[in-house]
Amino acid sequence: MAVGLQGLPTLHPVPGVRLGTAAAGIRKKDRRDLVVIECAPGTLAAATFTKNRFCAAPVTVAREHLKKNPPRALLVNTGIANAGTGNPGLEDALASCEALAKHLHCQPGEILPFSTGVIGERLPRERLLAGLPACVTNLSEDGWAEAAHGIMTTDSLPKGCSRQIRIGSRSITITGIAKGAGMIRPDMATMLAFVATDAAVTPAALQSCISSAVNVSFNRITVDGDTSTNDACVLLATGAAGNAVIDQTQDEAYWIFLDGLTKVFTDLAQAIVRDAEGATKFITIEVTGGRSEPDCLAVAYTIAHSPLVKTAFFASDPNWGRILAAIGRAPIEYLEIDKVAIHLNDLCVVRHGALDSGYNEAKGLAEMRLAEIRIGVELGTGSFATRIWTSDLSHDYVRINAEYRT
């Protein structure tokens, strides 16, 4: 069961963006597995993609298309990742773009394809193409909720977020959906995120905003430390709000927009961790007092990726020595162990590198039994800090991934 996640909030339509879904039978019958996100002419797009060098065919195609043309539509399928498929996979992705372009009366290079699912299998091209007419027929500005369901794989719940902000006299809408529950450590998880706004933004400001927002949201989550071949985050801006165009020289408007966008990205990123495969705990790891941000991140991710730490949290076992050991093996050059402090929520467990005199097992157990827990680590060697989010490691995570293809 997802930790503190209860389905979709209200998702406000974004003028200039329509979404349609279909059940194409790509991997399973009678489930929504194909989504088209159409955007009005003139819509700008910015994106970040996986750093996995075995990137999927649709990632390769989407990157190339985005370099040359503003998109008219995004095409998303679930069930098959179209990764590790060589040239035939590229041909499948391009054929999908060509087919959708005919339906929308645009150029194939104006279609951005995205896939998620099992790696190493070819797309069932005929079934995918046969599902496109239904997607196009179903296109609607109110299609966000259906699309959120349509991009799910092992997710237990759809994930979406929507905010409305004011810039000057104009109301700006930012709405997005995401999917992901396992193979999550984005480096830009299997993770896809599609966010749209009606704000008018310059291309440079749009790319700056998505890069900044991704860095403190999707690039700060991890479930199992695995970076997918298919990760992508796309930001569309239709300009339909009619605001004065936002650029990086307009301090107030730029920062208001970036703040709203970052909140949407962060909500979506946290929803992925809350719905992590088999998760029973939502864990925030805050590392402060580091000599650099990379040092803080190295410590945080070493803790988050430790199977011993993660299984202790699943068992609600206050085995703080596992956290201590993870800090000690983090790949940083400098660590003064007598300056290290560790907290579970507000409970001090370790002070000056050793067990705090006020700590006892009963207090630790009470904190570990909570569904949402903060691990606080003070390194005491500098002024840098960072925060990431992760989950525990349960029996169900093993079962879900052992049975993934069956």
How far is the C-alpha of 386 from the C-alpha of 22, rounded, in Å? 41
How far is the C-alpha of 67 from the C-alpha of 203, rounded, in Å? 12
Closest CA to 76 of 54, 56, 106: 56
Burial class (CB in 10 A: 0-12, 13-18, 19+), 202: middle
How many other C-beta atoms can be found within 10 angstroms of the C-beta atom of residue 42? 12
Sorted by sequence, the CB contacts under 8 Å of residue 147 that are 6+ apart come out as: 19, 20, 21, 35, 37, 76, 177, 194
Which helix (DSSP H) or strand (DSSP E) does residue 336 occupy? none
How far is the C-alpha of 379 from the C-alpha of 376, rounded, in Å? 10
How far is the C-alpha of 284 from the C-alpha of 233, rounded, in Å? 22
Beta 282-290 vs 372-378: how paired, if at all? parallel
How far is the C-alpha of 184 from the C-alpha of 268, rounded, in Å? 13
Sorted by sequence, the CB contacts under 8 Å of residue 369 that are 6+ apart come out as: 316
Cβ(298)–Cβ(330) below 8 Å: yes
DSSP-assigned beta bridge partners for residue 372: 282
Cβ(316)–Cβ(302) below 8 Å: no
50, 190, 197, 302: the catalytic one is 190
Both tokens of 334, joined, read 């400098």
Cβ(141)–Cβ(18) below 8 Å: yes
Our answer to whether residue 190 is catalytic in this structure is yes
Both tokens of 262, joined, read 């970052």
Write out the catalytic residue numbers.
190
